[in-house]
Amino acid sequence: MTELTHEIRGHTLWISFNRPQARNALTFEMYEGLAELCRTVPTDGSLRAVVLSGAGGKAFAAGTDMTQFRAFDKAQDALDYEARIDAVLDAVERCPLPTVAAINGACTGGGAAIAAACDLRIAASNLKFGFPIARTLGNCLAAANLARLSSLMGVGRVREMIFTARLIEAEEAHACGLISEILPDEAALMDRAAALANHLAGMAPLTLRATKEAMRRTQAAARAEDADLIELCYMSNDFRHGLEAFLAKQKPEWTGT
């Protein structure tokens, strides 16, 4: 089974995360495949929009496949991972076509980061959005991710969301501007995504591209150095313990070391 599928319908590239048995948890290959699709979309007018969604009816994407973290044994592994994810998110942001995240169900961790990097987000009423890492793994978000989220939701809400490890539901996400529309179910969501993509196809493409790039440059200028913070979390006893506790479906006991 292909874990990242894509097809062209009319003027729209449809990309789907396709690991429903794992709530579409993202492998490195899926991340890289998404980045490559975003980097290589044609700008000759044949395509006018990109829609991202998750297969299976339960999740957009439930973060990175955590089993991949077991191989981390030195600080550079963590730094390389965050740099790799940042490059993927940068590719989504730099995609010359407008991107729409059609979110059904769980949208957490890396999935939430991808959705936040898209231009527009619409969601079904069962949305659960967030980064519950203070409860699960004990790692951290890169500064670029925090800046992106803060520009969408506000600094205070991002801080509270991460500190409490709670997931934001559809009404709150709409109220704070994280998503622009709430649809009653997955079928309505996908119909609306298609209609929205068709609407975007009628807009001036250079206007959209210039606006995307100008906003990306503004946000990039605010990024802070964070290598020491990534190392602090990923090389900790807490992260190793949190990872194994999560995979064993047990509650971690944090020590702060």
Query: What pLDDT sits at residue 70?
Result: 86
Instruction: Report yes or no: 24 and 60 within 8 Å, Cβ to Cβ.
Output: yes
Instruction: Round to whole Å and give the CA distance between 77 and 71.
Output: 8
Instruction: Report yes or no: 125 and 170 within 8 Å, Cβ to Cβ.
Output: yes
Give domain limits for the chain.
4-201
Phi/psi of residue 139, nearest 5 degrees: -95, -160
Instruction: Round to whole Å and give the CA distance between 153 and 124.
Output: 19
% of the chain exceeding 90 in pLDDT: 91
Please report which confidence band the pLDDT of residue 11 belongs to, taking 50, 70 and 90 as the band edges. Answer: very high
Query: What pLDDT sits at residue 222?
Result: 66
Identify the three-state secondary structure at position 49. strand
Report the alpha-carbon angle 108-112-114, nearest 5. 140
Q: Which CATH architecture has domain 4-201?
A: Alpha-Beta Complex (3.90)
Query: What pLDDT sits at residue 36?
Result: 98
What is the mean pLDDT of the segment spanning 113-136?
97
Query: What pLDDT sits at residue 69?
Result: 86
- Hunting for tokens 């089993």 — which residue is that? 67
| Parallel/antiparallel/unpaired status of strands 59-62 and 12-17 | unpaired
What would the pLDDT profile of 78-102 be if each residue is shown by its tens digit? 999 999 999 999 999 999 999 999 9
Query: What pLDDT sits at residue 218?
Result: 86
What would the pLDDT profile of 180-232 be if each residue is shown by its tens digit? 999 999 999 999 999 999 999 999 999 999 999 999 988 876 678 899 999 99
Query: What pLDDT sits at residue 68?
Result: 81
What is the mean pLDDT of the segment spanning 56-70?
91
Identify the three-state secondary structure at position 237. helix
Instruction: Report yes or no: 162 and 131 within 8 Å, Cβ to Cβ.
Output: yes
| Mean pLDDT of all residues belonging to the chain | 95
What would the pLDDT profile of 103-119 be if each residue is shown by its tens digit? 999 999 999 999 999 99
Q: Is the pLDDT at 66 greater than 90, yes or no?
A: no
pTM: 0.95
Q: Among candidates 83, 82, 98, which has minimal Cα distance to 47?
A: 98
